[in-house]
């Protein structure tokens, strides 16, 4: 975060204590990096699989970012995925194979869960949030808590990376002119398969290597009905394709 952004950020009496689930993975590492010296949040807990549990973060993680491991994280002891972390809320970067029940356990135990995983993105009572576009969807949280008996906990998700950038452009266009059709092609880094990802021969000359789960995911998630310029609701027709490029990107 730039100094200018820091100076414009809201001030709190004390920082919110944040935990990261899946902190040793590539997405978890990015979250750990972003939380370092954050004006609102203090990283107090990192959690991962049993094989990392009990180790110092610097010992457990195979760090892939160009910048060094943040000092605030290096000596934290990695915990398991038990919802007893000393933090106010958690960011989840868990693999989809474990994210579903683990995030539900944390929400049930009273933790707000901000998830980067795909498992709950299509759930009707879970906000799929881009704050600049649909902050009002946070109104679904009380419904979710009632439906699931969560008490003070809840789950909020974000869309995938390409959708987040795309919708920020589509929203003002939809408001100003209305949208009826769109065609989208994304070139996404092969690192979307995680690290170490797919074998090198699977990506050479192949723009659609097999990445488990990607072939059935919806790039646009729940793209809701929009109003046309005449004021009537209409379904936005979309055609989206995803291709992989032989590069790594963790940002």
Q: What is the predicted pLDDT for the residue at 164?
A: 85
Q: Are 42 and 207 contacting, i.e. CB atoms less than 8 angstroms apart?
A: no
As a whole number of angstroms, the distance between CA 170 and CA 180 comes to 11
Q: What is the predicted pLDDT for the residue at 186?
A: 73
Rounded (10°) angle between helices 96-108 and 140-148:
90
Q: The tokens 């933090």 sit on which residue?
A: 87
As a whole number of angstroms, the distance between CA 246 and CA 188 comes to 9
pLDDT at 248 over 50: yes
As a whole number of angstroms, the distance between CA 180 and CA 250 comes to 33
Q: What is the pLDDT of residues 12-54, one digit of tens each?
A: 778 999 999 999 998 999 999 999 989 999 999 999 999 999 9
When pLDDT is averaged across residues 79-84 and rounded to a whole number, the result is 96
Q: What is the pLDDT of residues 83-112, one digit of tens each?
A: 999 999 999 999 999 999 999 999 999 999
Identify the CA nearest to 133 among candidates 179, 162, 170, 106: 170
Identify the CA nearest to 212 among candidates 197, 222, 225: 197
Q: What is the pLDDT of residues 179-237, one digit of tens each?
A: 888 888 777 665 555 555 555 555 555 555 455 555 444 444 443 433 333 343 445 66
Identify the CA nearest to 248 among candidates 197, 185, 202, 184: 197
pLDDT at 126 over 50: yes
């Amino acid at each position: 975060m730039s100094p200018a952004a820091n100076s414009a950020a809201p001030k709190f009496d004390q920082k919110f204590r944040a935990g990261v689930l899946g902190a040793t993975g590539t997405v978890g590492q990015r979250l750990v990096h972003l939380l370092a010296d954050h004006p609102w949040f203090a990283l107090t807990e990192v959690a991962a699989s049993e094989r990392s549990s009990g180790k110092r973060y610097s010992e457990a993680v195979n760090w892939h970012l160009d910048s060094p491991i943040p000092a605030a994280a290096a000596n934290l002891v990695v915990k398991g995925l038990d919802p007893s972390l000393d933090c106010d809320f958690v960011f989840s970067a868990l693999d989809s194979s474990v994210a579903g029940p683990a995030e539900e356990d944390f929400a049930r135990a009273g933790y707000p869960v901000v998830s980067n995983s795909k498992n709950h993105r299509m759930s009707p009572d879970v906000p799929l949030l881009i704050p600049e576009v649909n902050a009002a969807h946070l109104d679904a949280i009380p419904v979710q808590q009632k439906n699931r008996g969560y008490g003070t906990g809840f789950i909020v998700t974000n869309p995938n990376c390409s959708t987040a950038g795309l919708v920020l452009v589509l929203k003002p266009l939809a408001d100003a002119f209305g949208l009826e059709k769109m065609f989208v092609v994304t070139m996404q880094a092969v690192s979307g398969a995680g690290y170490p990802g797919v074998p090198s021969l699977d990506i050479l000359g192949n723009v659609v290597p097999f990445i488990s789960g990607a072939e059935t995911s919806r790039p646009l998630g729940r793209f809701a009905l929009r109003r046309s310029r005449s004021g009537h609701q209409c379904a936005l027709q979309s055609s989206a394709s995803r291709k992989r490029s032989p590069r790594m990107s963790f940002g």
